[in-house]
Amino acid sequence: MSERLQPGDVAPAFTLPDADGNDVSLSAHKGRKVIVYFYPAALTPGCTKQACDFTDNLEVLAGAGYDVLGISPDAPEKLAKFREKESLKVTLLADPEKTVTEAYGAYGEKKNYGKTYMGVIRSTIVVDEEGKVERALYNVRATGHVAKIIKDLGI
């Protein structure tokens, strides 16, 4: 199980392909705040709700200086389908090897219906303009999470 990030930690650098196969790096967002959220799988009910919530609030977040990056183990082709089907405007990144997901502490032991297994832990990391972790939220709920972030960040 990977170490969870703490406020003040340097956010691990990454470059991942987006839904169109273009590389997106965290460093390209330096000078802006970035909300990096990890979700288990595109085109599933909870992940769809969460991605739609971020899309619905993207203007509010962008207006407050935040970029939003969603990361899952899905291939870029599946992310493109997800984006088209749900009219998503957030940048979706593919991490099929889960290296970034693990670096951010968003991969580990999960329990569901009494079974324990390894998987993506729904997590949100807020990175400041300097690339440091401002907030690290793990085991978040898909529903209502975006509203809570907006409230917590005072947006």
Tens place of pLDDT for every residue, the chain, 155 residues? 568 999 999 999 999 999 999 999 999 998 999 999 999 999 999 899 999 999 999 999 999 999 999 999 999 999 999 999 999 999 999 999 999 999 999 999 888 788 998 999 999 999 999 999 999 999 999 999 999 999 999 99
Q: Which of 127, 119, 81, 84 is nearest to 101 (CA)?
A: 119
What's the total number of domains in the chain? 1
For residue 87, the domain's CATH number is: 3.40.30.10
Residue 103 within any structural domain of the chain? yes
Cβ atoms of 5 and 104 within 8 Å: the answer is: yes
Residue 2 within any structural domain of the chain? no
Residue 91 within any structural domain of the chain? yes
Residue 3 within any structural domain of the chain? no
Cβ atoms of 93 and 18 within 8 Å: the answer is: yes
Residue 4 within any structural domain of the chain? no
Residue 33: strand pairing partners: 66
52 is catalytic: no
Range of the domain at 88: 9-153
Residue 46 within any structural domain of the chain? yes
Cβ atoms of 39 and 48 within 8 Å: the answer is: no
Catalytic residue among 47, 68, 80, 142, which?
47
Which residues make Cβ contacts (< 8 Å) with residue 9, sequence separation at least 6? 132, 133, 136
pTM over 0.85: yes
